[in-house]
Amino acid sequence: MAYNILIVEDETHARQYIAAFLQEQGYEVTEAPTYAEAMEALRAGKGDIVLLDIQLPDAYGLTLLEETADWPNRPPVIVITGYGDIETAVDAMRNGAYDFLPKPVKFQRLMSSLKRLEEIVAMRRELALWRSQQSSLTEDLFRGASPAMRRVLEEARRAAEASVSVLITGETGTGKEVLARYIHQIGPRKEKPFVPINCAAVPDTMLESELFGYEAGAFTGATKRKPGLMEIADGGILFLDEIASMPLDMQAKLLRALENKVIRRMGGTKWIPVDIQIVAASNRDLAQQIREGKFREDLYYRLKVVDLHLPPLRERKEEIPVLVGRFIRELAPSMGKDVQHITPRALEALKAYDWPGNIRQLRNVIERGLLFCDTDTLDLQHLSPEILQAYRHAAHTP
């Protein structure tokens, strides 16, 4: 993801010196030696981040902050000046500057500031892309994925195209069902049903009737025929969440149905052919479950034609800005909130936390933050106490 830096600086040598450095770091650069050229560049959509000198030949630099204060997507601004003092810095921050750097610019400090603001830009791009394209939930969630997640998505794509069985593993809250829906959405079965069942939420005595269905009179209370979920999912995908919770006898029946591609309703005599792709998920170590005699090894290998492991959020924190952007635009309208932004320090706090509940917990934190936010920007005071505690601890750790 390339970011464009708009350098507003009238001193040619200083401007070109900074531009050359930033281009070496992989940034795109737009140069503006005057206030008028800077405003023209901004109106043309140039500049994801602005480096703004205060002393310009045709205007006072901070006028740019005042003139663009009401712009809904004004790029974040870093003020750079050789005339810096506390009063000027306070004035710049009051008008919306994100940072204040004195000349001569120290590149290490500049890069630190830019890296923080990149997260703001990434979140804004996320929001803008969603508004323009109204993209689907599953594609949206994985945009901005880390290298580890991109590998998972590529393997998921191949599994979807081939309609093979998939086993998804990972901690609770990492997005296993979302990945299963992604496989359904991008594969040849997308026009057919996606049928999920949480094996841990269904009593053992009812799991067989849920999966295979039953005929009228099959047991007390069975007054009419009911098709099972495997029958309903015919042609599509059956998602078996928390597969490790399935009893051993039911595992044997499921394996037989998958091998023979037929099912029989409880109390029935007719074999019903089914064509389904199985996607199973577990937050437990199934290999350990096999060693303990709690899971069938043959079913394990039948399910894991493709084995996808979702890393926890603490191992892919670079995805947090994009995820935050997604959750803001998803949740804010339904809560009657007009939140559009999040401050750099709030993002830093979110990245300082280890997220034992993973993506699901992050979503809940953003939802809570929106509840207590009465402006258009989420900030530290809107985050939950455990996030703030981790942030303060990180700030005081050498």
- Strand-pair category, 166-169 with 277-282: parallel
One-letter amino acid for residue 186 of the chain = I
* 369: CB partners within 8 A, 6+ apart: 378, 382, 383, 384
Q: Which two tokens stand for residue 211?
A: 């999966």
Q: Residues 204, 279: one domain?
A: yes
Residue 115 falls within a domain, yes or no?
A: no
Question: Of 290, 310, 330, which closes a domain?
Answer: 310
* 329: CB partners within 8 A, 6+ apart: 126, 127, 130, 131
Residue 293 falls within a domain, yes or no?
A: yes
**Apex 332 CA angle, 330 and 335, nearest 5:** 115
Q: Is the pTM of this model over 0.85?
A: no
Rounded Cα distance, 205 and 183, in Å: 30
Per the omega criterion (within 30 degrees of 0), is the bond before 104 cis?
yes
Q: What is the pLDDT of residue 2?
A: 77
Q: Residues 79, 183: one domain?
A: no
Which of 206, 279, 268, 201 lies closest to 237 in space, CA to CA?
279
Q: Residues 42, 163: one domain?
A: no
* N- to C-terminal Cα separation, the chain: 31
Residue 77: enclosing H or E segment and its boundaries? strand 77-81
Residue 120 falls within a domain, yes or no?
A: no
**DSSP3 helix / strand / coil % (the chain, rounded to 5):** 50, 15, 35
Q: What distance lies between CA 64 and its chain's CA centroid?
A: 33
Residue 255 falls within a domain, yes or no?
A: yes
* 228: CB partners within 8 A, 6+ apart: 209, 210, 211, 212, 213, 214, 263, 265
Residue 60 phi/psi, 5° resolution?
-80, 125
For residue 46, give the 3-state DSSP assignment: coil
Q: What is the pLDDT of residue 29?
A: 95
Q: Residues 28, 168: one domain?
A: no
Residue 111 falls within a domain, yes or no?
A: no
Q: What is the pLDDT of residue 261?
A: 94
Which of 258, 311, 313, 312 lies closest to 280 in space, CA to CA?
258
Residue 163 falls within a domain, yes or no?
A: yes
Q: What is the pLDDT of residue 83?
A: 62
Q: Residues 154, 26: one domain?
A: no
Segments of the chain with pLDDT less than 70: 1, 72, 83-86, 126-144, 395-398
Residue 210 falls within a domain, yes or no?
A: yes
Inter-residue contact 318 to 358 (CB < 8 Å): no
Q: Which residue has the tokens 């029989």?
A: 264
Residue 342 falls within a domain, yes or no?
A: yes
Residue 7: enclosing H or E segment and its boundaries? strand 4-8
Residue 173: enclosing H or E segment and its boundaries? none
* 330: CB partners within 8 A, 6+ apart: 137
DSSP state of 17: H
Q: Which domain holds residue 367?
A: 314-395
Question: Of 310, 338, 368, which closes a domain?
Answer: 310
- Structural domains counted in the chain: 3
Q: Residues 75, 172: one domain?
A: no
| CATH classification of the domain holding 87 | 3.40.50.2300
Q: How far is CA 136 from CA 130, 142, 193, 321, 356, in A?
A: 9, 11, 17, 18, 27
Q: Residues 305, 344: one domain?
A: no
| CATH classification of the domain holding 201 | 3.40.50.300
Per the omega criterion (within 30 degrees of 0), is the bond before 356 cis?
no
Q: Residues 157, 285: one domain?
A: yes
Where do runs of H (alpha helix) occur along 71-146?
A: 86-94, 107-133, 137-141
Q: Residues 15, 37: one domain?
A: yes
Q: Residues 251, 333: one domain?
A: no
Q: What is the pLDDT of residue 149?
A: 87
* 256: CB partners within 8 A, 6+ apart: none
Q: Residues 168, 227: one domain?
A: yes
Residue 177 phi/psi, 5° resolution?
-70, -35
Q: Residues 23, 169: one domain?
A: no
| CATH classification of the domain holding 376 | 1.10.8.60
